A and B are shown apart, each in its own frame.
Chain A
Amino acid sequence: MDVITRGGVITDPGNSVENKTGSWRVFKPVINYEMCIRCMICWQFCPEPAILKHEDEEIKKSTPAPKDALKRLPVVEIDYDYCKGCGICANECPVKAIDFVMEER
């Protein structure tokens, strides 16, 4: 935004996406899809929100899963552009399918 609007109104909703808060991260969550039961608890609790939910049939089928029956469920993916590395997802995952490792840059 180049011009200050009257009243300081921000006319572009959700333009905070320009802030790539992924640079805050010290530890990084990594999903182990072979273990992920696609319960969506990480997606539910991600405060950023930096966990994406994919409903696309192609992605659902092509992503590994511990059981074939689970492949009809949506797939989660971490958006590292914004993930601040709080670790709530790794802590709450009921099957411990999210590793929390030191970020390397």
Chain B
Amino acid sequence: MNYENEEFFAPGHGMCAGCAAPIIVKWVLKLAGPNTIVVNATGCLEVATTPYPRTAWRVPWLHVAFENAAAAASGVEAAAKAMGEKVNIIAFGGDGGTADIGFQALSGMVERGHNVLYVLYDNEAYMNTGIQRSGATPWGAWTTTSKVGKANPIGKMRPKKPIARIIAAHNAAYVATANPAIFNDFKKKVQKALNTEGARFLHVLSSCTTGWRHDPSKTVEIMRLATDTGLFPLYEIENGDIENMRITYKPKQFKPVEEYLKMQGRFRHLLKNPEYVKKLQDDIDAWWAKYGHHYQK
């Protein structure tokens, strides 16, 4: 059955205008269909979609704490299995609830091989609590806990945690990075993840108009630039075979990283110093020099 014309995620939720997370959620649910149970870690998505007594979810939905979405999803999966029910179990978490606070629960879920699809919508900081840095915040980003000033002209001084590769190293059945702005690739990966048995993990980029400091209308444009500059590469890894990861999308012509940086307030300070921009560009070029041959048409 094709449920693409149905909405399992209702309007009237409180996500910010221009937030990318609902785009991700609505498409994952459209592709999964009604036979789905969602487990949601604490974060923007959980808080803004269910101000009691209202909910934007039209599928069974379970809210858990920040750290245990993967553990709760494991339990739901085990219960469904015991009852002999075949149902999609999907966990949603932000980057804080996935790469940092919820990491050990996720690590356990993947290691035990629960038949769950975990979707990380990565807005690259703790946006719900007011833009604090997370493990997934990229190098050079301003946040309220990586402030930019005389003592620290850079912002966050550590690189982004490569969470997709870390989860793949657990021998997950399917791991992919995806970007809703590169829509066909995103859709294909969600479908592939839904049709795979075992623990699956999707790392999806999700722009945050508030935390990235950009105009809400530019959400998709900026996310597209993240991949077209080479900064957020799209790849997939099956059964933990990191050596044979497959890059699924390569821009015809890479755009300079400035184009991505200059659209966002969180990177504004980097543009004042050409060295910082060069460092980021060099990092991107080094990544593609090292892994670019993994691209397959």
Interface residues of A (CB under 8 A from B): 1, 4, 8, 10, 12-21, 24-25, 44-50, 53, 55, 79, 81-82, 84-88, 90-92, 100
Contacts and interface: CB of A to CB of B under 8 A. Distances in A.
Contact of B18 (A8, A18, A47, A82): A47
B216 to A, nearest CB: 4
Contacts of A87: 18, 215-217
B12 interface: yes
Given A44-B183, A92-B220, A16 B22 contact: no
Contact of A91 (B23, B49, B50, B218): B218
Given A16-B12, A21-B12, A85 B17 contact: yes
Given A10-B54, A14-B56, A88-B18, A49 B7 contact: yes
A interface: dominant SS: loop
Interface residues of B, number: 38
B18 A16 contact: no
A19 B12 contact: yes
A49 B26 contact: yes
8 contacts: A13-B55, A15-B10, A18-B12, A49-B22, A81-B11, A84-B17, A88-B220, A91-B220
Contact of A88 (B12, B15, B55, B216): B216
Contacts of B21: 47
B interface: dominant SS: loop
Contacts of A8: 52
**Of listed A1, A21, A45, A82, residue having the most chain B CB within 10 A:** A45
Interface string B6-28: 01011111111111111100100
B225 to A, nearest CB: 13
A4 B56 CA distance: 18
A93 to B, nearest CB: 11
B40 to A, nearest CB: 13
A96 to B, nearest CB: 13
Contacts of A82: 11-12
B84 interface: no
B288 interface: no
B20 A47 contact: yes
A22 B74 CA distance: 38
Nearest to A17: B12
Nearest to B10: A14
B55 A92 contact: no
Given A17-B12, A21-B12, A86-B18, A10 B23 contact: no
B11 A17 contact: yes
B53 A10 contact: yes
